[in-house]
Amino acid sequence: MYELNQVGEKTYYIESPAKMGIYKLSATEVCLIDSGNDKDAGRKVQGILEEQGWSLKFILNTHSNADHVGGNAVLQQRLNVPAYASGIEACFNRFPILESSFLYGGFPVKELRNKFLMAPASEAHNLAELSLPDGLEIIPLDGHYFGMFGVKTDDGVWFLADCLMGENILQKYHASFIYDVAAYLATLDKVDMLEGEWFIPAHAPACKDIRPLVAANRQKVMEVSEKLLEWCREPVAFEDVLKMIFDHYQLSMDWNQYVLVGSTIRSYLAYLHDNGRLQTSFINNKLLWQTT
């Protein structure tokens, strides 16, 4: 874990729970793409940089989930480097309570105020303020979170953040976190068309052909959608739908999974409703979902 792997003349990734990227801006200066899940990850990144004789110029945060920005604070404290994120994601960096609050739908219970969902607060600038160096390209990757983006380097490497989950994760969790299902499917179509030498998803092995993983992720979205339509043939309340998901896929519910899977299933229901495949009704002060 935390091994440095070279995948291009100027491009590297760090093997970690959420892969991080390094791009050489010059012989001695680099930028970091995401910073890992906690302060220990940040310390390990600093150690790698020192071993290589590299100076960190800035951090690009593809999105604000805690496992992608958790190392920001310690790197900023130690190295005084800026971080950049897109729009609303920068707000989540500065105010980590927003993630738990958004997922829970109110002030989060103490069990949700944890480092898995809340990284240490860190300063983040809007990506639009950065004059992007030659050799780097930003690509929007909508759907997983509010304003996630990917990064392409000029030696043909794509850092794809969380737009794809590894097949092992798909088989373990099935309903991997998605904020906007329609946007997510459009992103899969976009990624399916990319050309490059290497593809680096944060939660799947680095590969030279991304298309099989795109297909697996798309198939899982279709599978979950069809299950929801099947279970909603009769009017059903959300909490009952959520129980069906956990029971069917033999998932174990705890506070983190309750909000992550719960938020995702609400997004699926909204997607199917907006596409005319689910209708809603309010009966006996309950919101019920039913297949059209």
Same domain, 203 and 236: no
- Render pLDDT for 74-83 as a digit per residue (tens, 0 to 9): 999 999 999 9
- Render pLDDT for 18-60 as a digit per residue (tens, 0 to 9): 999 999 999 999 999 999 999 999 999 999 999 999 999 999 9
Q: At 92, which CATH number?
A: 3.60.15.10
Same domain, 164 and 240: no
Same domain, 244 and 166: no
Which is it for strands 236-237 and 286-291: parallel, antiparallel or unpaired?
A: antiparallel
Whole-structure pTM value: 0.96
Same domain, 213 and 257: no
DSSP 38: S
Last residue of a domain, one of 191, 221, 251: 221
**Mean pLDDT of the residues in the chain:** 97
Same domain, 149 and 232: no
Same domain, 211 and 237: no
Same domain, 122 and 201: yes
Q: Domain residues for 239? A: 227-291
Q: At 253, which CATH number?
A: 1.10.10
Number of structural domains found in the chain: 2
Same domain, 260 and 163: no
Same domain, 245 and 173: no
Helix intervals (H) in 116-254: 167-173, 181-192, 211-231, 238-248
Same domain, 90 and 210: yes
Same domain, 53 and 176: yes
Same domain, 107 and 165: yes
Q: What is the pLDDT of residue 210?
A: 98
- Render pLDDT for 243-291 as a digit per residue (tens, 0 to 9): 999 999 999 999 999 999 999 999 999 999 999 999 999 999 999 999 9
